[in-house]
Amino acid sequence: MNRVRLVIPIGDPAGIGAEVILKALSDTTVTEGADVTIVGSHSQLQQIYGQLSSICKLANPSQLDVLDMPLDSDLERQIRLGVGNAASGEASFRYLEAAIAHTLAGKFEAIVTAPIAKSAWKAAGHSYPGQTELLADRAGVKRFGMLFVARSPHTGWILRTLLATTHIPLRDVADALTPELMTLKLEL
């Protein structure tokens, strides 16, 4: 069986992305059949590992494949855990752009995204409402969707959920669900 080459940008460095990734990769079943590369700051991953590995199971970043994108010192000084801002938004945008570029160049076959702060992207001057739209733009596609996939630990069944709407308030969903939108999403 061929192993899938996955890339995971760490998301917003002020957020939980690095922790979520290190927790997920500590479970060997997560990477069965996949070679995973993380895109982000190796020093940030090490910092999170140092802070949390004594209280929860984490993968050791020194044993992972990391495409290290160190932040310049000015940007790094502005980033504080738990506080999304223009600096953290710019960093997460750069990480995703690097993952996209490497994937489009054939180095990876798929991208798994970690959480970002849309408000931080906006503060950094990026107009994309989310990661899905940036991915679609860079890939040059007009028809796209956000897909979630999960395997039941009890039955082994795979659940795939494609969102019909994204980035809108819940109160606006009913009006957004048109026959045209549903047809577009179902044809994906």
What angle, 0 to 180 degrees and rounded to 10, lies between the N-to-C axes of helices 17-25 and 42-52? Answer: 70
Judge whether 113 and 96 are in contact, CB under 8 Å.
Answer: yes
Domain extent for 95: 4-143
Q: Same domain, yes or no, for 20 and 106?
A: yes
Query: What does the pLDDT read at residue 179?
Result: 94
Q: Are residues 63 and 133 in the same domain?
A: yes
CATH of the domain at 63: 3.40.718.10
pLDDT tens-digit readout, 89-134: 999 999 999 999 999 999 999 999 999 999 999 999 999 999 999 9
Q: How confident is the model at residue 145 (pLDDT cuts 50, 70, 90)?
A: very high
User: Could you give the number of structural domains in the chain?
Assistant: 2
Residue 161 token pair = 């959920």
Give pTM, 2 decimals: 0.90
> Which of 59, 9, 5 minimizes the C-alpha distance to 36?
5
